[in-house]
Each structure stands twice: as C-alpha cells, then as structure tokens.
Amino acid sequence: MKKVIIAVLSVWLMFILQSSVFSRINIGGIVPNMLIIITACFGFMEGDLAGLLVGFFCGMLMDVFYGSFKGFYAMIYMYLGYLNGKFCNIFYPEDVKLPLALIVSTDLLYGLSCYVFLFLLRGRFEIGFYFGHIILPEIIMTIIMTLLVYPIILFVHKRFYEIKR
C-alpha cells in the first residue's frame, strides 16, 4: 500500500511540476517532460508492470488535461513504461548512465511517436523542423531536469522500496 501511495504522489507531483511550474518558465514554449522521467524511472527501477501502470496513469493525466482524444497519451506512456521495465534486470542504482540513456531514448521515442501519429498521418512532413524545434529542445531540457531530479527519485526509491538485489 505504501508503494502505491508513493507512486501516486510521485506522478501527481511530476504532473504538477510539468503543467504549472515549468510551463511558466518555459524556453521557447518547450518544457521538460517530467512524466517521461517518472514513467521511465518506475519502469527500470521496479519492472515492466510498474512502468506500464505508472505510464498509463501519466498518460491518462495528459489525455484528460491536454489530449484531443482520450487514450492516445495513455497508450504511448504505457508502452514506454513497459519498455523501460525490460531493463530492470540490468539497472544498478549507483550508475547514472543507464537511467540517463533510457530517459533520453524514451523521450526521443515519445517525440517521434507523437510526430508520427499527430502530424505525419495528417500529411505534415516537416520532420526536420519538428525534430529541431520540438523534440531536441525537449530532450535537452529533460536531460537537465533528469540530472537534478534523479537523485531525489533514487533516494525515495531506496527509502520506500526494497531493492531486489
């Protein structure tokens, strides 16, 4: 029960940070994707089921507050959390390279899947513009926030979750 409460509070905190605090201090209309960070972290720290569930609820928050049709972001975040959960066996808390690489690749997959499903299928073929002005700045901002937030997430994980090693 304690794990569920911590997960729900983490998702809510990251959503509030992303939607209110960082939206006020955005750079060029781009904010770091805090929900990708928490989805990926729960995935590679706790496994594919935890990543899938946290990703689903992060995506549902995005769908309810920002989505034009329901279920789109929930599906993307859910798959991304599940994929990150497959790296649970090779995750070591002391090494920051794997989490950083997974969060960067997750954010890249998120940006590319949003481009494909929201723009490419509508006949908008400006992948260079979208990559240079949306995906890449978001990845850079997410990397910076990951370096600041990951130690806190790791501390909470070590404190409230038992490490299965």
Q: Phi-psi category of 86—alpha, beta or left, where left has phi over 0 and alpha has psi -120 to 50?
A: alpha
Nearest to 82 by CA among 60, 51, 107: 51
The token pair at 74 is 């929930």
State the pLDDT at residue 162: 64
In this model, does residue 16 exceed pLDDT 60? yes
> Cβ distance 63 to 81 under 8 Å?
no
Cα 165 to Cα 163: distance, rounded to the nearest angstrom: 6
Only one residue has tokens 């002005």, namely: 133
> What are the residue ranges spanned by the domains of the chain?
2-160
State the pLDDT at residue 61: 96
What pTM, to 2 d.p., does this model score? 0.93
The token pair at 133 is 């002005």
CATH class of 2-160: mainly alpha
Name the more confident of 162 and 149: 149
The token pair at 42 is 């729960």
In this model, does residue 165 exceed pLDDT 50? no
Burial 15-45 (b: 16+ CB within 10 A, else e): bebbbeebeeeeeeebbbbbbbbbbbbbbbb
The token pair at 69 is 């049709």
DSSP 8-state class, residue 95 = -
Nearest to 149 by CA among 2, 4, 22, 5: 22
| Burial status of residue 72 (CB atoms within 10 A of its CB: 0-12, 13-18, 19 or more) | middle
Average pLDDT over residues 61-81: 95
Average pLDDT over residues 86-99: 92
**Residue 56 one-letter amino acid:** F
Only one residue has tokens 């992060």, namely: 58
